A = this chain, B = another copy of it.
Amino acid sequence: MVGSGEGDSSVAEAVGRELAAGGAVVVCGGLGGVMEAACRGAKEAGGHTVGILPGPDRAAANPFVDTAIPTGLGEARNALVVRAADALIAVGGGYGTLSEIALALKAGKRVVGLDSWDIEGVVAVADPAAAVAAVLGESLT
């Protein structure tokens, strides 16, 4: 399972598609932008998506979220996205994404970055296929 944040939508869609193709559930913050793109990609590949929302209302989830969890916790829900994930693929560079990177590294989880923050511990990769391979532990050959 993997969460993601702000960034390039076509990249995020490809990440979602590859994750689902690899058998992973896509976990994210459930809103629009990159989160929606990742969910859309996962659904194209027949995957399952989980959106852990900041607000109290399930209706705020993007239309590609299968299981919406309306936490009502605001940004504190970022900690829940990280807990629900086995590893994190960070796409792009918002501060919300940075908080998830930090919490995942603190928890000892693998963090892979695609055009994201240059933080010690983040594995920077060049494209969605490499990101998903790094997370799912498959060989790249």
Query: A residues touching B (Cβ–Cβ < 8 Å)?
Result: 25, 48, 50, 52, 56, 58, 67-76, 78-80, 83-84, 94-96, 98-99, 101-103, 105-107, 117, 119, 121
- Contact partner of A99 (CB less than 8 A), chosen from B56, B72, B99, is B99
Instruction: Determine how close the nearest CB of chain B comes to the CB of A59; give it in whole angstroms.
Output: 11
Q: Are B72's CB and A76's CB within 8 A?
A: yes
Report the nearest B residue to A108, measured CB to CB: B95
CB-based nearest B residue for A94: B106
Complex Cα distance, B84 from A120, in Å, reads 28
Chosen A-B contacts, 30 in total, with CB atoms closer than 8 Å, are A48-B67, A50-B67, A50-B69, A56-B74, A58-B84, A67-B67, A69-B69, A69-B80, A69-B84, A70-B83, A72-B73, A72-B74, A72-B75, A72-B76, A73-B74, A73-B76, A75-B79, A75-B106, A78-B79, A79-B79, A94-B106, A95-B102, A95-B105, A95-B121, A96-B102, A98-B98, A98-B99, A98-B101, A99-B102, A102-B102
Q: Give the CA-CA distance A100 to B73 in the complex, in Å.
A: 16
